[in-house]
A = this chain, B = another copy of it.
Amino acid sequence: MKFNGRNVSVSPRARIGKNVRIGDNTVIYAGVDIGDDSTICNDVTLGEPTIEYYSEDAYANLPTIVGPGALIRSHSIIYAGCRIGACFSCGHHSLVRENTTFGEHCAVGTMTDIEGEVRIGNYCRLHSNVHIAQTCTLGDFVWFYPFAVMTNDPYPPSNDIRGGSIGDYTQVAVHAIILPGVEVGENCLIGANSVVSKAVPSFSLAMGDPASVVMDLRNYIVMGKGRPYPWMKRFDRGMPWNGMDYEKWFELKSKKSA
């Protein structure tokens, strides 16, 4: 059993919601607020102090919000100042540094490293071993695959930090590199091992080193499979249009926000 209350450390200045389970050896620092029905597994750290903690007497942890329904797996570390929407989950040994924001229903894989000051939308999926540099931005429904990386320093080392951005629904395949400050549009597919050095328009299949746009992704046809993109028409697992047609969901959503 994971939840024995063994060697757990919870700050009296943390707020723990209803029906929250906390695993053994887990540490929850001051200012953390955990939403209802969350599961925090073993050996997790929530609200990890930033570097000022070690030197400033007047240090106070920034508020850290973990939304309701979270599942934080073992050995993961979430820094102070993060604000994470509902139904977040993460793998093991993952790291989310300070002042990162997530929308709802995001998932972060094992050993993924989000370096802080990153803005991530809703329903994003970062698989294992992803690295996102400081000040990068991801839209909604963005997926990153293993060893894909966003960087932020155009002339390393420098103080000229420029995080890039990824548009809604875009997929960044395994080992792809998004160079500093690059803007990738919506509904793109960035191929495996690509190095993206300049802006990619929406609906592009981009690949190569340096990456170039090889076609409009909507024209991509797979023998015997038809057109796999936009992917939302054929994939709904864990998505808000699950069990419903994507177009129907989109229409309903548009009406609501209108």
List, in ascending order, chain B residues with CB within 8 A of A177's CB: 174-175, 192-193
Query: Given contacts A24-B27, A42-B45, A149-B147, is CB(A222)–CB(B155) below 8 Å?
Result: yes
For residue A43, give the distance in angstroms from its CB to the closest CB of chain B. 7
Q: Which of A75-121 contact B (CB under 8 A)?
A: 75, 77, 91-93, 95, 110-111, 113, 115
For residue A19, give the distance in angstroms from its CB to the closest CB of chain B. 12
List, in ascending order, chain B residues with CB within 8 A of A126's CB: none
Residue contact B9 to A24, C-beta cutoff 8 Å: yes
Q: Which of A114-172 contact B (CB under 8 A)?
A: 115, 125, 128-129, 131, 133, 143, 145-147, 149, 151, 153, 155-159, 171
List, in ascending order, chain B residues with CB within 8 A of A228's CB: 155, 158
- Quickly give the copy total for this chain: 3
A209 within 8 A of B: yes
Interface size on A, residues (CB 8 A): 67
Q: Which of A34-53 contact B (CB under 8 A)?
A: 39, 42-43, 45, 48-49, 51, 53
Residue contact B193 to A158, C-beta cutoff 8 Å: no
29 contacts between A and B (CB under 8 A): A7-B25, A9-B24, A25-B25, A74-B77, A75-B75, A75-B93, A92-B95, A110-B113, A111-B111, A111-B113, A113-B128, A113-B129, A115-B128, A129-B129, A129-B131, A131-B147, A143-B156, A146-B149, A151-B174, A151-B192, A155-B228, A156-B173, A157-B171, A158-B235, A175-B177, A177-B193, A193-B193, A193-B209, A209-B209
- Write the residues of chain A forming the contact surface with B, with a CB cutoff of 8 angstroms: 1-2, 4, 6-7, 9, 11, 24-25, 27, 39, 42-43, 45, 48-49, 51, 53-54, 71, 74-75, 77, 91-93, 95, 110-111, 113, 115, 125, 128-129, 131, 133, 143, 145-147, 149, 151, 153, 155-159, 171, 173-175, 177, 179, 189, 192-193, 195, 209, 222, 225, 228-229, 231, 234-235, 237
Extra A-B contacts (8), CB below 8 Å, given A42-B45, A146-B149, A157-B171: A25-B25, A48-B74, A54-B71, A111-B111, A156-B173, A157-B235, A157-B237, A158-B235
